[in-house]
Amino acid sequence: QVQVVESGGGSVQAGGSLRLTCTVSGFSFGDYPMGWFRQAPGKEHEEVACIGRGGDKLAYAESVKGRFAISRDNAKSTLYLQMNSLKSEDSAMYYCDPCRLRPGGQFEMEFYNWGQGTQVTVSS
């Protein structure tokens, strides 16, 4: 049984930083690219970032490039998202799931919706 726990969210002021963590069990974490997506109330899912199995291939949504950094520790089955220079439009529930890297820096999430997410609220 797959268990996913996202954590690290919170309330910050614009310009602040947060580091999200996603811990996975019951799944061959190191065998799959993993990523983050977010959803704000009344809005569609937005894919945020994806990282390859070995951590060497990265892809980001244009809206977060240069501000967010995705990383992973396969030994700990853990995924991270360092978020800097946060903006009010980054406010959302953040989730982690497997993803697929595509050519040209593109990617897509699998949207398995395993975890409960972690809330990020940025006040301006």
Of the pLDDT bands very low, low, confident and very high (cuts 50, 70, 90), residue 111 is confident
The CA distance from 49 to 76, in Å, is 19
The pLDDT tens digits of the residues spanning 27-66 come to 999 999 999 999 999 999 999 999 999 999 999 999 999 9
pLDDT at residue 16 above 90? yes
* Residue 106 binned pLDDT confidence (cut-offs 50, 70, 90): very high
Cβ contacts of 3 within 8 Å, gap of 6 or more: 24, 25, 26, 114
pLDDT of residue 113: 85
Instruction: For 8-117, list the strands marked E by DSSP.
Output: 10-13, 18-25, 34-39, 46-51, 58-60, 68-73, 78-83, 92-102, 106-109
Question: Which amino acid is residue 12, in one-letter code?
Answer: V
Over residues 65-77, the pLDDT tens digits come to 999 999 999 999 9
Q: Give the mean pLDDT of 21-29.
A: 96
Strand-pair partners of 22: 6, 79
